[in-house]
Structure 1
Amino acid sequence: MQADPLIFDALVLAGGRSSRLGGVPKQSLVLRGRTLLAWTLDAAAGARHTVVVGDLPPSSRRPSSGTSDDAGAAPALPPGVLSCREEPAFAGPAAAISAGLAALAGHGGGAPFTLVLACDMPLASQAVAVLRDAVAAAGDGRGAMARSADGRAQPLAAIYNTGELKRSCVALAGRNALVNGSVRALLANLDVQLVAVPAGSTADVDTWGDAAALGIAAGSQREDFDQNVRSQRGRQVVKSQDETLEEWCRALLQAYKLEDVQVDVNAVLSLAGVAAHAVVRPAAPLTTFIAGFAAGLAAAPGREMDAASMEAAMAVARSLAADYENEAAAGTPGE
């Protein structure tokens, strides 16, 4: 069999909060006797250098003691696999990618291409095989991003041109937009082809329902989570309105898989207040929805969706509301 001509390094992102799993690290979940981290490292096989970005399970940092306490625990990282952490921790996937590239550069990295994989897609090896073939066949330096069966692009299952990816990290850092930055912003100017991958190969684990659908054995980790939920429900938890809104905002972003999008809750509420006062009360949700939709259109190919685009969309709505109020006061409401 002819050797794969593609030369690439690999970044495995394993530093998320796993909030919808009760904080249980995704990389430590077990599928058919092996952790998701082990499955993801298998998918990255063939990489010249591999780095895991995030906090590793304890048994990934030290050899197994051979006792029964180690049963089902994550194995130590294979020889040569590096690990690092973005700074600050939980600064988002854009910051994690930048940290991983720096770690690779410090250990002789710098392959023409870089494979980027989230640690929670245990069947990703099928997608990676297709992506490698596509990049090698193109031969033009372009990367390739997985497109799932439902048509969605999967930026954390992709092979990128390393030089382009590094330049984008530098540009984002130069705007102080790397920490908690948007993956869309990081990748907006990269030249990649969207490649259809086998159905299910990019299925990820965000919830315990996702884990069950993939046949992942949650075991005592799920039991601990359920016990914690029951404990929380058993006592009154008093939250401020601000805390509740921030929590609800995070839940919505996670549900829509938009964790990398930053929302200024106060700015959105302010815009809603302006619309309610200047027009009519029901205009508040309508205005914020349309402004958000307009900002989202900035995520079209070649354009970035960031704080600036969101502020620009809200500025238009605020100006229009002010004009409407002035015209109404003059007795000639706008059409």
Structure 2
Amino acid sequence: MPTLDTDRFAKVLALAGSDHDGEALAALRKARGMLQTAGMTFTDVAQRMGTPAVPDNSASFTDAEFDDLMRQWAEPTAKKKPAPYVDPCGNKWGSKADYESWKASNDARFERDRQKHAAERAAIIARYGCFEAAAARDEREQLLHEAAMPWLEGANVEVDPEFAHQSGRWHKRMGGWEPYGSTKHPVAPCRLAIENAYPMPSTIREARDEHLAWEQRSRELDLIQEAYGAYEVLDLPAHYRWERVRRLYESELPIVTMDDLHIRLQFARDADNTHDVCDAVPSIIDAFERLVMHAPHATSVGAPPSRRPRKTKPKAATAPADPRQRDLFPENGATP
């Protein structure tokens, strides 16, 4: 147990004679804390020292020493900064407590999602026959994988024997491209290989249909793998093909027919915050002017629609109520 620093204790105790109640009370509390640290009480001090001398409130303190004491009392003791932590996946955290708090929250969210989608997930797996068949590449995914194989890098490796069959199912990069990287496209030969793996859509309706098919397949894999939106479930060739088709559907394919215009307008109506309707607006306006406003049956720009004159049977003239005007309106064919 540390011994009492009597010189420092005397200085602190001297402040108890201050005319300011706050300073005096703080000094007494500080002195009591020093005694407790040394395993003593004020009674012990009184017994050891006998009758204490009258304290000198000004002789033993400089302004700097007084300011230093007041700063120590005002400032709380700084807490020790926790050590950083690296989780089993290699991610860095500010502390192990931060990681454990996040993991508990994430595990709870996962369990809620698992229970919510359990029936739908089971139905998808049953439709394919088994989990392995449902998670494997379908026909289009396989065509795209084979076309892009020379440019695929960083295949996944599953260490769990239960999922060993999925090793090589996904990749980190493809021709210098990553889904959320700064590069918009893989190298040109890779891009062309993906576009030519099977025919690209030639109409907006075809592009819309393939886009919806990829959207459905992505949802299936998300539930099958129990990712629940935590990571991308389509492999890179399929993911890039989906992006290309989506851009064709939303803005890049020209509107040629009224059906094209209808599909593009439906997209603009139903788009959410993940799609940029602004890219679609120029093609919609251009098609509307070309297919609607300039059509043979369309009216002139800015002019109200013309109406055919109505064919009505003329009403027979009737005599006015004023007798002075009746001679001007012969009745029943009589002449005036």
Relative to the length of structure 2, the TM-score reads: 0.25
Tell me which protein shows more strand as a share of its residues: 1
Work out which structure has the larger RCO, using CA pairs closer than 8 Å and 6 or more positions apart in sequence.
Answer: 1
Tell me which protein shows more helix as a share of its residues: 2
